[in-house]
Amino acid sequence: MQKRLWINLMFCFILPAMLFTASCSKKVVSTEPTTDQMAEGDTDQLSEVTDVVVVDESSVAESDLMEAEALAAQEKAAREMFVSADIYFEFDSAVLASSAQDILNLKAAWMMKNPGVSVIIEGHCDERGTSEYNIALGDRRADSAKQFIVDLGVAPERLTTISYGEERPLDPGNNEYAWAKNRRAHFTLE
């Protein structure tokens, strides 16, 4: 739930910031046609045409770039979010909490948008419990995450699971805070 809020906030800040830079550069271009942005266009051509047209054309060209960049940034953020957002479990449980389901919804949407991508889901456990049982439990955790995404329409061949049990804790601490962080399913891109 927190993660999703954070992502939304990120977009709220980043997109207006980008629009703002775009409108600033418009002015820069009209008065001083040798800025960095201009260099990316065809400067020779720009110097031959009238001022007004130059402004219009360059501003159109520039806003396209900004859009592309914003899109790229958005895609990158989405990809990073896909990898960095772990889902968490209760002790000795592979049941998906609603916060985990929210994250999995985003992940499924992203996979639908990126059909070429295959994904590995790692199932992890905290150090409590016994190592053999935890491999089985980690397997169930990874599998319930996979099933959830498959149910949303992603082809099952695109998702493989691997259980690490308690072998790869994120936080080596011996307390509830560390354990909660370690009871997770983590996604990596194949």
Partner 1 sequence: MLRALFVRLICYFTVIFFFTGAQSSFAGYDYIDITNPFLRKIPVAVSSFKTFSGNTAERQVALKTSDLFSSMLEFTGYFKMLDRAAFLEDPHRSGITASNIKFHNWTSIGAELLITGLILKNVDLLEMELRLYDTFKGKLIVGKRYKSKPGDQRRIVRRFCSEIIYHLTGNKGIFNSRIAFISNASGHKEIYICDFDGYNPKRFTFNNNITLSPAWSSDGRWLAFTSYLKGHPDLYIKNLAQKRGSVVAKKGINITPAWVPGKFKLAATFSFSGDQEIYMLTGNGKITKRLTVNKGIDSSPSFSPGGRRMAFVSKRSGTPQIYIKDFRSGNVNRLTFQGQYNTEPNWSPRGDKIAYSSMVGREINIFVIGVDGGNLTQLTGSSADNESPSWSPDGSLILFSSTREGHAGIYVMTAYGTDQRRLLSMPGVQTGPAWSANIN
Applying CB under 8 A, the residues found at the interface with partner 1 are 92, 128-133, 135-137, 139-140, 143, 161-164, 167
For 114-160, where are the alpha helices, taking DSSP H only? 131-151
Min dist. Cβ of residue 161 to partner 1 (A):
7
Residue number with CB closer to partner 1 (2 or 130) = 130
CA pair distance 112, 152, nearest whole angstrom: 9
- Asked whether 97 and 148 are in contact (CB, 8 A), the reply is no
Strand spans (E) along 72-179: 87-88, 119-124, 159-165
Residue number with CB closer to partner 1 (94 or 104) = 94
- Asked whether 151 and 161 are in contact (CB, 8 A), the reply is no
CA pair distance 133, 47, nearest whole angstrom: 72
Token pair for residue 117? Answer: 């991508």
Min dist. Cβ of residue 88 to partner 1 (A):
19
Residue number with CB closer to partner 1 (57 or 139) = 139
Single out the residue of 189, 102, 104 nearest to residue 144, CA to CA.
104
Residue number with CB closer to partner 1 (4 or 128) = 128
Min dist. Cβ of residue 91 to partner 1 (A):
9
Min dist. Cβ of residue 129 to partner 1 (A):
7
